[in-house]
Structure 1
C-alpha cells in the first residue's frame, strides 16, 4: 500500500491535545491487538527520528503501519480508507512535531510519558513509551546494535532497555529494582537524556 513519504521540510502544525486524544481513541478502537496507544507511538516515532539512517529515505510502508498493528486486507484494520488517511496524516504530523521539538527545544523537549501523583509527588513511568521505542529498534537491529555497542550511547540506552524490554529477560535484581516506583521515575527521567544525546550525535549542527 502506498503512503506519503516523511518529509522533514514539511510545515505541519503540531497536533492539538484534542487531536492527540482523537488519534489515541482511533488507534485503540481498531480491531488490532498490536495497535499502539499514543504513548507507545510517541516513543516509536522518536526512535525512528534519532536512530540510524535517514527516515525521509525509508519507504513509509516499512514503518508506518506498525503504529496501527499492521495492514490487513482491504482497509483493515481500519473500517474505511478515510480513517486510514486521517490516521496517516495525524501520525505524520506528530512525527514532524517531535522532530521540530527535538531540534528547537533540546533538553526542554517533552515526550508523552505516564505521570502518576503519589504522596503529592509526580512520578514518571516511561515503560509504554520505551516499549514503542524498542519496536523501532527492532526494525534495524544492525544499525541500533552499533549504537548499543558505543560506550557512551550504550550506557545511556540502558534505562530504555530496562523499562521497555521483556520482563523474562530481566535479572532478578533488575526486576526487583523496577518494582520501586522511585527507581522507575529515575530511569524514566534518564530516558530524556538518552534521546537528547542520540539527537545531538545524529544532528550535531541542530
Structure 2
C-alpha cells in the first residue's frame, strides 16, 4: 500500500476526526492554500484540513499531508509548472472534480478579501472558472445556472482545464 493510499484509508476511516477532509478535497484545499495571494500559517490551514487539533493525529498523517503540500509547491515552482490534482474517478471512467474544487474554494474562503483582486478582475475571474463551475448548491444545481442537461458535459470539460487554471492562478499573484 502506498503512502497516499494509507493516508486515504485513514482519512476515510472512523479513526479520523469527523470534520477532516477526504483525499480529493484535501488536495484541492492544499492547492488553494498554495495559490493563496497571501501566506496562510500552517497551523491555521492544517487545523481546517484535519477538522481538529493537529496534535490529536498520528505524526505520519501530518507528515503525509505536509508531503502532499510540499509536492504541490514544488510542482508549481517547476519549469514548466506541474499540477496533478487528485480527482475521484467514476466507475464509468470519467473524473469527478467536485470535491477537489470544493476544497480549493474552502482555501479561498480563508482569505476572501485577498482573493477579490483575482475574482473581480476580468481576466482573473476567468482563470478560476473551471473550478467554480464545479460548485453546486445543496440540490445539485449549478450555482452558475448551467442546466442539468448540460451539466455533466460542462463539468467534464471544465475538469480538463483545472491544472492549467491552477498554474494561471498561481502565476496571477
Q: TM above 0.5, one fold?
A: yes
* Separation of aligned partners in 1, 2:126 and 2:149: 17
TM-score of the two chains, using structure 1 as the length reference: 0.72
* Separation of aligned partners in 1, 2:169 and 2:84: 15
* Separation of aligned partners in 1, 2:53 and 2:79: 34
1:113–1:126 contact (8 Å) kept in structure 2: yes
Runs of 4+ in 1 over 6 A off after TM superposition: none
1:124–1:184 contact (8 Å) kept in structure 2: no
Whether 1:18 and 2:18 are equivalent positions in the alignment is no
Whether 1:150 and 2:134 are equivalent positions in the alignment is no
**2:112 equivalent among 127, 138, 141:** 141
Match of 1:14 in 2: none
The CA deviation string for residues 165-202 of structure 1, in whole angstroms up to 9 with x for no partner, is: 5346845842515642x221101112222101012223
Match of 2:43 in 1: 61
Whether 1:38 and 2:23 are equivalent positions in the alignment is yes
Match of 1:196 in 2: 167
- Higher Cα Rg, which structure: 1
**1:98 equivalent among 62, 72, 88:** 72
Alignment of 1:178-197 (within 5 A): 179-180=151-152, 182-197=153-168
Match of 1:124 in 2: 95
* Separation of aligned partners in 2, 1:178 and 1:106: 33
Change (3 A) 1:106 1:126: farther
Q: Can you give the 5+ residue segments of structure 2 that lack an aligned partner in the other structure? A: none
Q: Can you give the 5+ residue segments of structure 1 that lack an aligned partner in the other structure? A: 1-16
2:25–2:101 contact (8 Å) kept in structure 1: yes
Between 1:96-105 and 1:145-154, the stretch displaced more is 96-105
